[in-house]
Structures are given as C-alpha cells and as structure tokens.
A and B are shown apart, each in its own frame.
Chain A
Amino acid sequence: MSLTQTNHVFASVTEQGLNTLLHATFTARPRYLNYGSSLFVKTTSVLATNMQPIPFPGVPGGIQWAVRFTIPTIDLFPPDAKSSTLPPGANQFTIKTSVTLTLGCMTFSAAPDNPTVQVSVNPIAFSLDVWARGELATTNAVVLQIDQVRMPQVLPGGLEQVLDCLIRMILQAAVSDAALPLTAISVGAFQLILQRGPLIDADQAEAWGDI
C-alpha cells in the first residue's frame, strides 16, 4: 500500500518525533504549562502566564493559586508496555504528565469594618501524576484533544472526579494552545492541504491531503 493512498501527499510523525516536537514546544514556551495569579506569576512572560485570582467575597484580593504541569510525554496507539492507567485505544493517544497545584493559603482577620486587614500568605502545594487520553482534533494542525483524565493517586472517588475534570479542562486548554502546524510533520517539504486525518496508527500521527 502506498503512503499517499488515494491522496497526493502524506505526512507522518512517529511517537518519538512527536515527543521531540512537544518537548521543543514546551521548552521554548513554558508559559503554556505554568499558570498562576499574581502572587505566583507577576506578569505573563515566556516562562509563565499570569491569571486572575479566584474572586471570593471576603477574601482580600481573591484566592491566589498556581498550576504547573511537567512537559507531557505522549504514547500513540498501540499502547507502550509502560502505559497502563489509560492505555490508548485505536486512533487514540495517552499523555503522561504531573501537575502541581499551589494555593496561596491566606490568614486574615475577620473584621469587615477594619480597612487595614492584616493578611499573611503561606503557599501550599501538592503534586500528582496525571494520565490523559484523547485523539487528534480534525483540523489543519496536530492538536491534542483530551477526552479523559485520571489521577489514580487521588482518593476518595468524588474528589478524584472533581480534580479529573478540573485538570482535564486546564490541560486541554494548555495543550491545544500548542498546536503543531502540519508543515512541522513534513519538515517543510510541502504545504499540506488536509483532506484526511490526522489519524493515529502504528505509533504514528498521519495526515493525507494535497498541495
């Protein structure tokens, strides 16, 4: 079977190549993995993205927080032996990362009529392994679409569900901002006009089209 099949051009990147591209992307642009309110990230830079604190009535300045992911590694279908918690199915990938959630734990006096509230902040954090599974979005780029997240270290189940959903939303936003143009998976050999894919098979992400 030809690579181009019924199309005119074909481009693919192996799992190892995709990990190289992801590593390069998040090394050059770590701000897509690091977010925090101004206590932790003063201003947006290449290194981190400044976010608003979570407003809450009575909490001076809102709740300060930060989220930091390690550079994810990807496992394309079929699953590697080491892939376990969420093995990728047909046309799926699994990414493995770890997340550190940091909270600016505030202590302040409950005196609504006192304009000079004394506030002290103690950052507290915990880290968890994160497994996420998804497929490639059908778009003119390689975009990771996260469908499901699991953090098996979290108990009880209800808390895990909440955190899974929270991290899925954050991680989805983070990785979709780091889309790889299709020219990257042909190292600039041609400008691929997508007609089919991107699909995942045989540890590769593959796309077909025309030029």
Chain B
Amino acid sequence: MPDITAAADESAATRLLGIAEAALGTQKSGPGTGSLGPFSASYSAQASFSGGAVNLKPPNIIELAGCNLAYSVSVSFTLDISKLLPQICIPPICILNFCTPQICLPYPPPITVPSVNIGDTVTFSADFHLNPHLVGPDWLIDVKINSIPQLRFGPGTAGALATIGGALVAAALAEGGVYGPALAVALGLLLAAIGVAGLEGFLGPILTPFVSRLTFTIYEQPQLYPAIPAAGPFDPVVDVTITALDAVVQATDKNELVITASIAG
C-alpha cells in the first residue's frame, strides 16, 4: 500500500497541465525546406502551447481538448523566374530581305525573397497517457501524446497567405527587372490558386513535429525528496526517499488523476 496519495479532479488537472504547458516553454525546429506550390522555401519555426481542457478517462488517458499551439514560422523563398514565366523574346523583323535576329531578354538571376514571419494559433485535441518514471535522480510523471492530432488552423492563415503574397510581389517588382510586372501578376494568380488550403498543406508538416511527440511533465521531484526545506543552521533539510511512484486515472462519482508514492526514511 502506498504511503502517500494525491488526487486532482479534472479542474485541478487542467491547471496542472497549464503549468506543464508553460514549463515546456517555446519549442524550436529547423532550419528545413518545403514547398509552397511551385515555390521552394526554407524555414525555421517555433511553437508554444497553452490552454485546453482536461478530460480524464480511466484507466490511463488524459484527453486535452482545445489546446492552443501558437506558432511563428520564418520562411524565405527563392523565385526562379525561368520556371515561372516563358522567356520574353522579340521575334525577327524582316524588311525586304533584311531580318533582325530574334532577341530574347535574359532571365534575371533567381530572386531570394527576404524572410517573412508568419504566425497564428492552431488548436488541436488529443489523447495522452500517463508515464511515471525515474530519470536519473528524479521522478517524473509525463503526459505523452498517443497519436498525431489533426491541427485546426484559424482565420489567421489567410492573413499569413496575404503576408507571403505581399513579400513575393514586392520582391518580384524590385528585382524582376523587365519580368517584374508579369511575374507579380503570375505570383498573384499562383497564390490565389494555392489558397489557404495550400498554405495549410505547407505549414502542416512544419508544425506536426511539434505535436507528434508532445510530452508534458506534470510532476518532477528528486527521488531524495526534501519533505521539509532547510530552515537555518540547526534545521537541515529533511529528506525522504520516494521508492515508488505511480499515476492513474480513477473513476468514482467523478474522474480523478491519482498519484501515489511510497517513501522510506
């Protein structure tokens, strides 16, 4: 029989998860590469988690519903005009027996679009499982995601698409030379065709790694647990050893997260 029992209902468990979300802090990924329609892009991303309501499901499932993933992606594009527009050529002009040669305007070198920062919040719901375990000198209770959830993008995605479009068009006009105006029109048409769905398709693989192995730590204490902190030169810390630790979801008249521990002096 364990010596110590601590229980939290769904309301308290939601707050414990909130503390764990904050403790996880900002996660980073990249640099990486991806494709937004015909555009190749390089990116780096960061994300943090907040919110969501905990539903406890016996014996070992914590459902987190409506968790917010706030992301920020810094993305830069390279525009290779030769792959987007046909070359502009002036056909031969013949007067009597004299013909001018065909003159083709050379493509400008590929345009590197400066980094664009886009960010928004996506929400997801997922089932997690409890994993109490000893890591070195510390006991941890991790809440680990069971499967990759579906990310629900918000209305901010359309704004992000507009931001990207604005940056691409500006770069096209600035560095596209004679091809600039045509390129700007082409980019507008391409981005309209890509649409919000295409941007979500681009962002999905960037953001999914943040959630695919998502783990929150709701408990972390040293195995040599300081039951009473030191309080002066004559009152040293009082330690006990946590010899075993477990965490389960129990269902009675309400569902509870129950943590049990055995201790030794």
Q: Measuring CB to CB, which residues of chain A are less than 8 angstroms from any residue of chain B? A: 1-4, 8-14, 16-17, 20-21, 23-25, 27-29, 31, 44-46, 49, 178, 180-181, 184-190, 210-211
Inside 8 A of A31's CB, which chain B residues have their CB?
234
Inside 8 A of A21's CB, which chain B residues have their CB?
227, 238, 240, 263, 265
Nearest-neighbour CB distance to chain B for A175, whole angstroms, equals 13
Residue in A8, A14, A29, A189 whose beta carbon sits within 8 Å of that of B219 in the complex: A189
Given A8-B9, A24-B238, A27-B265, verify A17-B4 contact (CB < 8 Å). Answer: yes
Nearest-neighbour CB distance to chain B for A119, whole angstroms, equals 30
Nearest-neighbour CB distance to chain A for B258, whole angstroms, equals 7
Residue in A25, A185, A210 whose beta carbon sits within 8 Å of that of B12 in the complex: A210
Query: Chain B contact residues: over half helix, strand or loop, or mixed?
Result: strand
Inside 8 A of A181's CB, which chain B residues have their CB?
227-229
Per the bound structure, the CA–CA distance linking A128 and B15 in Å amounts to 51
Per the bound structure, the CA–CA distance linking A126 and B149 in Å amounts to 72
Nearest-neighbour CB distance to chain B for A189, whole angstroms, equals 4
Inside 8 A of B239's CB, which chain A residues have their CB?
24, 28
Nearest-neighbour CB distance to chain B for A29, whole angstroms, equals 6
164-220 of chain B: CB within 8 A of chain A: 219
Inside 8 A of B245's CB, which chain A residues have their CB?
187
Per the bound structure, the CA–CA distance linking A203 and B213 in Å amounts to 42
Nearest-neighbour CB distance to chain A for B235, whole angstroms, equals 6
Nearest-neighbour CB distance to chain B for A23, whole angstroms, equals 5
One digit per residue, 1 when the CB lies within 8 angstroms of any chain A CB and 0 when it does not, for chain B 1-44 equals 11111111101100110000000000000000000000000000
Given A24-B227, A188-B225, verify A9-B6 contact (CB < 8 Å). Answer: yes
CB <8 Å contact, A186 and B228: no
Chain A minimum-CB-distance residue to B10: A8
Residue in B12, B227, B236, B253 whose beta carbon sits within 8 Å of that of A184 in the complex: B227
Chain B minimum-CB-distance residue to A25: B238
A-B contact pairs, 12 of them (CB 8 A): A2-B7, A2-B252, A3-B252, A12-B5, A20-B240, A27-B265, A28-B237, A46-B234, A46-B236, A189-B6, A189-B8, A189-B219
Chain A minimum-CB-distance residue to B14: A8
Per the bound structure, the CA–CA distance linking A81 and B146 in Å amounts to 48
CB <8 Å contact, A20 and B236: no
Residue in A14, A45, A184 whose beta carbon sits within 8 Å of that of B228 in the complex: A184
Any chain A CB within 8 A of the CB of B96?
Answer: no
CB <8 Å contact, B1 and A4: no
